[in-house]
Amino acid sequence: MGNASALDAYYKVPCGLLFTGHRAEAERVYDYSIGRFLQPDGDLDGTGVGWYDRFRIYPHTWLTWAATELGRPDELSRFLVSRWNPETGGFRADAEGTEEIMTTSMAGLACLRAGHAEVAAGVARWLERMMQAQPDLSRGLIHVWKPGVGLTEGDGSVWYIVNAKELRQWYFQYGISAAFLADYARRSGEQRWVELAREYLHASAHCREDVYRTPQSGKIGWGAAWTYGLTQRIEDAALVDAVVDGLCALQCGDGSWNPEGIYEAEPKSEATARLDVTAEFAALLGQMQEMGRV
């Protein structure tokens, strides 16, 4: 990992290695990450991660997912569950108790895999309420719920809403919600969650022409692949194929993806950001391959 010293260079790598067939390497990176960043209370040390306070438990979700695949879910899932709000079903993403789609969906998936069925059921209901509260999907997807406020567009930036009228939006919000809902539907056997997954996925059709061919699109392909595995519907498969084509076109010659402009205009550390997105896209493409769409 070179000179990388912060959590954001490591937390997705075990999944990226696992889902591309490199289990031994995944175990080594996971063990190093736990040894280096896990604190006595079960939290992770996020020193040096610029966005850590805003998306407080997002790294925990990826490492918990890896832990479940490695047969060690309890190392992180107990702390993750402590950030769940049983009153709403969402996960607290920051110190203010903000709940948002990316954190809640990924935490729900990790908890589902770790055997926390009540938590996962709460997340499914939370996503259902978030969809029901959307004022106009043709304008975009509001992905933030604030305590005492409810669904909020905040300052109208990508931190709060996927603006369907603008380019380079956080399109992953459509896909990460669908991925959790498809996995929950498969495990619970309840068809309603498949339909909700499709509602999130196909709401992305309101967005601009770059919606399926930017790095922010990766999770749409992932969610669509898992949904397609349950529906076998051609329109779900078409989303997977569009995203895979987009990601492959953006891949660098050395196999990595260039992080510039993906989540921020000027990433703090290009090497770290490259590790982050490359590990994620390797994991997602590996998951899509399982459904025969890569």
- The tokens 């209370």 sit on which residue? 41
Task: Name the band, by pLDDT with cuts 50, 70 and 90, for residue 267.
Answer: very low
Task: Name the band, by pLDDT with cuts 50, 70 and 90, for residue 261.
Answer: low
Q: Determine the average pLDDT of the residues in 175-204.
A: 97
- The tokens 């660098």 sit on which residue? 252
- Calculate ∠ Cα 41-110-294, nearest 5°: 140
Minimal CA–CA distance to 257: which of 211, 294, 217? 217
Cut 0.75: pTM above it: yes
Residue 239 near residue 212, CB atoms below 8 Å = yes
Residue 126 near residue 90, CB atoms below 8 Å = yes
Gap between the Cα atoms of 97 and 100, Å rounded: 10
Strand partners, 211: none
- Decide if 23 is inside a domain: yes
Minimal CA–CA distance to 84: which of 50, 59, 115, 118? 118
- Decide if 208 is inside a domain: yes
Minimal CA–CA distance to 231: which of 283, 282, 196? 196
- From first CA to last CA, the distance across the chain in angstroms is 27
Residue 95's CB: how many other CB atoms inside 10 A? 9
At residue 260, the 3 state secondary structure works out as: coil
Report how many domains make up the chain.
1
Quick: pLDDT tens for 110-152. 999 999 999 999 999 999 999 999 999 999 999 999 999 999 9
At residue 140, the 3 state secondary structure works out as: strand
Minimal CA–CA distance to 258: which of 245, 239, 241, 277? 277
- Decide if 1 is inside a domain: no
pLDDT at residue 269 in the model: 47
Sign of the alpha-carbon torsion through 26, 221, 62, 121? negative
- Decide if 164 is inside a domain: yes
Amino acid letter for position 223: G
Q: Determine the average pLDDT of the residues in 76-104.
A: 97
- Decide if 2 is inside a domain: no
At residue 200, the 3 state secondary structure works out as: helix
What's 121's domain CATH number? 1.50.10.20
Gap between the Cα atoms of 179 and 177, Å rounded: 5
Q: Which residue has the higher pLDDT, 190 or 73?
A: 190
Task: Name the band, by pLDDT with cuts 50, 70 and 90, for residue 236.
Answer: very high
Q: Determine the average pLDDT of the residues in 242-253.
A: 93
Backbone angles phi and psi of 199, in degrees to 5: -65, -45
Query: Across the chain, what does the average pLDDT equal?
Result: 93
User: By residue range, what is the domain housing residue 97?
Assistant: 7-290
Quick: pLDDT tens for 34-73. 999 999 999 999 999 999 999 999 999 999 999 999 999 7
Residue 112 near residue 80, CB atoms below 8 Å = no
Gap between the Cα atoms of 97 and 145, Å rounded: 9
- Calculate ∠ Cα 260-55-218, nearest 5°: 45
